[in-house]
Amino acid sequence: MSETSRFRSLEDGHGALKGAQTAWDMLSEEQMQKHITTGCEELDAILGGGIHCKEVTEVGGVPGIGKTQLGIQLAVNVQIPVECGGLGGKAVYIDTEGSFMVERAHQIAEGCISDLLDNTAHRLKDFPACPERLQPNSFLANIFYFRICSYTEQIATINYLEKFLEEQKDVKIIVVDSITFHFRQDFDDLALRTRVLGGMSLKLMRFAKKYSLAVVLLNQVTTKFVEGSFHLTLALGDTWSHACTNRIILYWNGNDRHAYIDKSPSLRSATTPFLITGKGIRNATSHCKRVRMM
């Protein structure tokens, strides 16, 4: 007890830096924080519970690996009501490539709802308001979709988001699909590109921290010539690779999709398989499904 009061006085003594928090407070806050599930329990396990709020996560991989699927899945899963163990938030989806398929989003929302009803039917009985909210259309209504057609628009939209987030406090995830697309077309001045992207990533970091939301950036792959051979890396270069907190790489291993944590300050590197099904992203093994049935 006296120990604690001593710590308090210590903190007060150093409270001059406005807005600074002790790691102890941050730790307890972090333990209270819920994560956004990806739908695949194994992927959640290596991510420490799912996509973390207050962090910027970059997801990269070859075309067709399921980046957009993961983006849509997260935009749907963030809306899982609090009663069912979700965040009950809303999603901002910034689409630069035009790959957001609303039919697919509807399908994933349906899949998510049917799984929720299977798993938490007993809990939902206590909350009569829930079934009305558990409709695919109400899920779609809570995804704010921005279609971006040039990099100028992209910069403008990110700048506008500040105002938007101020009004929509419920937004818990921002998905940018993809951060790369317009910056890889007609952008001659690479130094300028680095600067613009650096500024953009700092803005997204600020949103993540200030509004306690998750930012997911989808990125494409490119090739890099290193020591006589070509390597696949994520696009936008070395400087950009420092811009995000976590980096997840999706890749093919044989005919299976795998996810790999390439960079994270708090998670160990790990690999796990995942599946893309009609319902969305799910476990690759059937083990957990059996648990669910019970």
Binding part of the chain for other proteins, among 11-19, 72-80, 119-127, 133-141 by CB under 8 A, reads 11-19
Q: Which residue has the tokens 């290193």?
A: 226
First-last CA distance in the chain: 45
Q: Work out which of 123, 147, 206, 287 binds other proteins, going by CB under 8 A.
A: 206
Show contacts with other proteins in window 17-36 (CB under 8 A): 17-24, 26-27, 30
Binding part of the chain for other proteins, among 112-120, 134-142, 158-166, 195-203 by CB under 8 A, reads 195-203
Q: What phi and psi values does residue 74 have, to the nearest 5 degrees?
A: -70, -35
Query: What DSSP assignment string belongs to 164-200?
Result: HHHH-TTEEEEEEETSSHHHHSS---HHHHHHHHHHH
Please give the size of the binding site for other proteins, defined by CB under 8 A: 72
Q: What phi and psi values does residue 253 have, to the nearest 5 degrees?
A: -125, 100
CA geometry: angle at 276 spanning 105 and 136, to 5°? 25
Show contacts with other proteins in window 254-293 (CB under 8 A): 258, 260-263, 265-266, 268-271
Q: Determine if 163 is a binding residue for other proteins (CB under 8 A).
A: no
At closest approach, how far in Å is the CB of 280 from other proteins?
A: 23
Binding part of the chain for other proteins, among 78-86, 88-96, 158-166, 241-249 by CB under 8 A, reads 241-249
CB 37 within 8 A of CB 44: yes
Cβ distance to other proteins smaller for residue 70 or 124: 70
Cβ distance to other proteins smaller for residue 243 or 275: 243
Q: Work out which of 226, 291, 293, 294 binds other proteins, going by CB under 8 A.
A: 226
At closest approach, how far in Å is the CB of 81 from other proteins?
A: 26
Q: Work out which of 1, 186, 225, 294 binds other proteins, going by CB under 8 A.
A: 225
CB 232 within 8 A of CB 250: no
Residue 101 CB contacts under 8 Å (≥ 6 apart), including other chains:
72
Rounded Cα distance between 186 and 223, Å, is 18
